[in-house]
Amino acid sequence: MLRFVFFRLLQSLIALAILSVVVFVLARATGDPLHMILPMNASEEDYANARRYLGLDRPYVAQYLSFVGRAVTGDFGNSIRARRPVSELLRERLPNSLKLAAFAMSVSLAIAFPLGVMAAVKKGTGLDRAAQLVAVLGQSLPTFWVAIVLVEFVAGRLQWLPAGGADSLASYVLPGFTLGWFVVAGMMRLLRSGMLEVLDSEYVKLARLKGVAERRVVWVHALKNALIPVVTFAGIYFAILVTTAIVVETVFAWPGLGRLAYDGITSRDFPVIQAVVLATAVIVAAVNLCVDCLYAVIDPRIRYSR
């Protein structure tokens, strides 16, 4: 098991290293940031000075190495637009994003679990149909449109909930649900199909024959094995959640990483883009690592097959 964790960790680090190069190259390729920060009438000399001041005149390899060296210690340089350390911006924004993601994730799980299991148990009934409708709608509704419609009707016309910001618990509700719906849909489908398969298996029949209470058969014996595919996809769903967060945070004016990324890219703020993409990648990689280890614990076959 330790060997498995070690090699898996090594893989993640290599992937992150490759990603850092890609990010560095792409960020450099997004055009000259000086056009955005210097006034229209700046002279050639002003450009040269600014370039030297920001360290943009050095060779790319040197820029990359110093970027990696400082990034490891948590120093991402200064935001070109905000003129503040990027690490400070990250510290401000990251907790907000994590809180929103955690809220969305827990709401999704709280809805997806009972709904997915019950849909499989009561297959073909009205409840099952309703659950499948929720699932298919969740994967067909454009998130940003849902966000706008919710802002207009629930927050605007009905005035039930705040439309933006992250001030109170109530302000979590709209962005949290918008963000979580897709995950609910996916998880529920996986659980339902997993449960259907497992409920039909011999060992579940045996458990019933032994006289195990039906509730225990469903929620303990069957659910344990139906969870395996859900765990497998948890990492991918997390990556999707992070992606969706960019749109959701933009619409709900949520002061998180997603909005920081959007603002950073529209104003060509290199240090911010690099930091956000890398921070996101580290989080996604860490989550995937945990998921894989968890997976290896649940399903020992995995440990030996790699």
Partner 1 sequence: MSVVALPDRAARPEPGQRSRRWPVVSISIIVVFVLVALLAPLLSPADPYEQSLRLRFRPPVWEERGSWANPLGTDRLGRDMLSRILWGSRVSLAAGVVTVLIASAFGAAIGLVAGYYGGRVDATLMRVTDATLSFPVILLALILAVTVGPSFTNVVIAIAVILWARYARVIRGQVLTLMQLDFIAQARIAGAGAWRVITRHLLPNTLNTLVVLVTLQIGYVIIVEASLSFLGAGIPPPTPAWGSMIAEGRDVITIAWWVSFFPGLVILLVVLAFNLLGDWLRDTLDPKLRQL
Q: Which residue matches tokens 């090594």? A: 10
DSSP state of 154: I
Shortest Å, Cβ 27 to partner 1: 7
250 touches partner 1 (CB under 8 A): yes
Q: Does residue 295 belong to the site contacting partner 1 (CB under 8 A)?
A: no
Residues 115-154 that bind partner 1 (CB under 8 A): 136-137, 139-145, 148-149, 151-152
Q: Check if the beta carbon of residue 238 is closer than 8 Å to that of residue 287.
A: yes
Binding residue for partner 1, selected from 2, 31, 61, 158, defined by CB under 8 A:
31
Binding of partner 1 by 37 (CB under 8 A): no
Output DSSP code: residue 236: H
Which of 98, 72, 33 has its CA nearest to residue 257?
A: 98
- Rounded CA-CA distance 165/75 in Å is 28
Give whichever of 75 and 197 is closer to partner 1, judged by the CB atom: 197
Nearest alpha-carbon partner for 185 in 298, 294, 109, 127: 109
Residue 54 near residue 80 (C-beta atoms within 8 A): yes
Based on CB atoms, which residue is closest to partner 1, 21 or 48? 21
Q: Are 102 and 242 in contact (CB under 8 A)?
A: no
Q: What are phi and psi of 110, to 5 degrees?
A: -60, -30
290 binds partner 1 (CB under 8 A): no
Task: Tell me, residue by residue from 151 to 170, as one string, x for binding to partner 1 by CB under 8 A and - for no binding.
Answer: xx---x--------------
Q: Are 294 and 230 in contact (CB under 8 A)?
A: no
Query: Closer CB to partner 1, residue 149 or residue 213?
Result: 149
Q: What are the residues binding partner 1 (CB under 8 A)?
A: 11, 14-15, 18-19, 26-27, 29-31, 136-137, 139-145, 148-149, 151-152, 156, 186, 189-190, 193, 196-197, 200, 229, 233, 235-236, 239, 242-243, 246-247, 250-251, 261-262, 265-266, 268, 273, 276-277, 280-281, 284-285, 288
